[in-house]
Structures are given as C-alpha cells and as structure tokens.
Amino acid sequence: MRPLLLYIHGFSSSGQSEKALAVGEFVKQHCPHMDYLAPSFPNYPAAAFNAIKEIIESELAQGREKIGMIGSSLGGFMATMVGELYQLKAVLVNPAVKPSKLMPVLLGENTNFHTGEKFLLTQDHLQELVEIECERMQYPENYWLMLQTGDETLNYRWAKKYYSKSPQHIEEGGNHRFENFEQHLPAVLEFLELTDGH
C-alpha cells in the first residue's frame, strides 16, 4: 500500500493553511507514489485528537504500513501524542509544548483564521489538553523538531528543552509559520521514511 503523509494543522487553523497547501503541492509534484491528507480538524482539543486517532486507526486497519505526520504548532503537540500511541514518526514544526499552560490567554470566543467559524474556548477544553498529554515521552527518536528562533507566538526554547532527546533542526530568525519550510521537505520525507528509497 502507498505511504501516507498526514498533515496536522495548529489551533484555529485548517487543512487549507498556507503550509498545508504548500506541502500538498510538493507531494503532488515530486512524490507521485505517496498519498497526502490534510484534513480540517475540529477547533476543540479532544474532538481534534479523536478525529486524528480515527484517521490513523482506519488507515492501519486498511493495511497502511507507512504513515508519517507533519504537525504544526498545536498540531505538533497532537502529532507527538498520536505518535506515542501508535509509534509513528512525526516532524514537528514550531510545536506547542504543554499547551494547557499556554492557552489560558485564549479562553473565551475565538475565530478560526481560515473558516471564520466562531467558537468558545473554556476551562474544560484546557482540561482536555491535560488529559491528552502523556506523562513521559517513550519514543523521542521518532520526532524531528524543527524550530525557528524568531517564532513570535511560542518560545522556541520550551520545545528545544522538551524534545531534548529528539533530533533537532533550529534556525535563527524566521517566524511561527516557519519560513521556507518547503525547502526542507525532501529531508522531512526522508526522516519520515516515506520516500521511494524506503
């Protein structure tokens, strides 16, 4: 069965984000042997996490042997937790670390950047993030951390420390989106073992 690349977007984003579309375009042009999924996940943590798990479990049940993930921001957190459950590899782009502690500032009404949908983030949703998080990472070698120090949304040092046992690529400058991410896609797919050579 063909390998699958699953893109997991960040908080209040969608599968139509600039980075998700750029990855899709790269796969279409350079990786005809590969399937690519970039769904728009629910705005709420537990619902999003369950939707991601459903995709993984469905693909595994169908006999999909190679599944790799790219997770951006909160999607990086989700990719890590899913990776721990199913022992899958993931590339984490400026990922959120312990988001239950980062997101109280977002409590209240939010608007999805891409869909325009309004949604209410409550204390219960922060608790969902606590419950999703694993106590201790078992497979740090499965995650490739990609950070830019110019991230204006998250402090890159938190991720650098949290993923200290994972391979890391850290660039000076840049931003939360991760400038020029597309240039790294050949190496990303190589790490995820989704290329023709694997």
Q: Can you tell me the mean pLDDT for 130-150? A: 95
pLDDT at 179 over 80: yes
| DSSP letter string, 31-96 | -TT-EEE-----SSHHHHHHHHHHHHHHHHHTT---EEEEEETHHHHHHHHHHHHHT-EEEEES--
197 found inside a domain: no
pLDDT at 23 over 90: yes
Q: Can you tell me the mean pLDDT for 128-135? A: 94
pTM: 0.95
Opening angle at CA 133, ends 128 and 137, nearest 5: 175
Q: Report the CATH number that the domain containing residue 65 is assigned in CATH.
A: 3.40.50.1820
pLDDT at 121: 94
DSSP-based three-state secondary structure for 167: coil
Per DSSP, 153 falls in state S
Burial 160-174 (b: 16+ CB within 10 A, else e): bebbeebeeeeeeeb
pLDDT at 15 over 90: yes
23 found inside a domain: yes
151 found inside a domain: yes
196 found inside a domain: no
> Tokens for 59?
């693909």
9 found inside a domain: yes
Strand 67-72 with 35-37, pairing: unpaired
142 found inside a domain: yes
pLDDT at 123: 95
Residue 14 confidence class, pLDDT cut points 50, 70, 90: very high
Q: Can you tell me the mean pLDDT for 10-25? A: 94
> Tokens for 145?
């951390």
pLDDT at 113: 86
Residue 196 confidence class, pLDDT cut points 50, 70, 90: low
Cβ-Cβ contacts under 8 Å for 24 (sequence gap 6 or more): 7, 36, 38
Count of beta carbons in the 10 Å neighbourhood of residue 98:
13
pLDDT at 198: 45
pLDDT at 114: 85
Percentage of the chain lying above the pLDDT 70 cut: 98
170 found inside a domain: yes
Reported as a single tens digit per residue, the pLDDT across 90-118 is 999 999 999 999 898 999 999 998 889 99
pLDDT at 197 over 60: no
Tell me which residue range forms the domain holding 80.
4-191
75 found inside a domain: yes
Reported as a single tens digit per residue, the pLDDT across 26-79 is 999 999 999 999 999 999 999 999 999 999 999 999 999 999 999 999 999 999
**What's the structural domain count of the chain?**
1
Across the chain, mean pLDDT equals: 94
